[in-house]
């Protein structure tokens, strides 16, 4: 039923305000049928610091399913304005996304990894 469908993967905050704009962005940018959403409060901080290995391993297990079973070729790491799980200001969160991207890229160098910032108007912006 889903064999010829394309998936993308998003490591996103659990905050429901960011789910819809990120899903739309990823589906449009990559012409994807489905978005595998891996959620945690403040995932950019979790992955950047990599202190809580239980959480990092949990995220990686879900990432592995998306890559190995759904054949996703791209993963986005999301940070956002007014995050309850990560109260750091935007500049710090951007740096955390960049560090998180390095970790996730180390899991599989063939997968495209991008960073996204969702601003106060719930617009999605790519992080360079």
Show me where the domains of the chain are located.
7-127
Output the pLDDT for position 1: 53
Task: Tell me the per-residue pLDDT of 72-82, one tens digit each, with 9 for 90 and over.
Answer: 999 999 999 99
Residue 35 CA to residue 28 CA, distance in Å, equals 11
Residue 40: name the closest of 75, 82, 77, 68 by CA. Answer: 77
Q: Among 3.90.550.10, 3.20.20.60, 3.40.1050.10, 3.30.420.40, what is the CATH number of 7-127? A: 3.40.1050.10
The answer to whether residues 9 and 73 touch, using CB atoms and an 8 Å cutoff, is: no
Residue 101 CA to residue 47 CA, distance in Å, equals 8
Average pLDDT, the chain: 96
Output the pLDDT for position 128: 80
């Amino acid at each position: 039923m889903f064999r010829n469908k394309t998936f993308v993967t998003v490591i996103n905050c659990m905050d429901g305000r960011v789910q819809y704009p990120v899903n739309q962005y990823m589906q449009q940018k990559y012409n994807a049928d489905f978005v595998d959403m891996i959620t945690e409060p403040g995932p950019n901080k979790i992955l950047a610091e990599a202190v809580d290995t239980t959480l990092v391993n949990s995220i990686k297990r879900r990432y592995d399913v998306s890559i190995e079973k759904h054949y996703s070729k791209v993963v986005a790491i999301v940070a956002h304005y007014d995050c309850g799980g990560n109260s750091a200001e935007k500049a710090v969160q951007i740096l955390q996304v960049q560090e998180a991207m390095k970790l996730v890229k180390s899991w599989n160098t063939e997968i495209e990894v991008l960073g996204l910032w969702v601003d106060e108007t719930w617009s999605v912006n790519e992080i360079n």
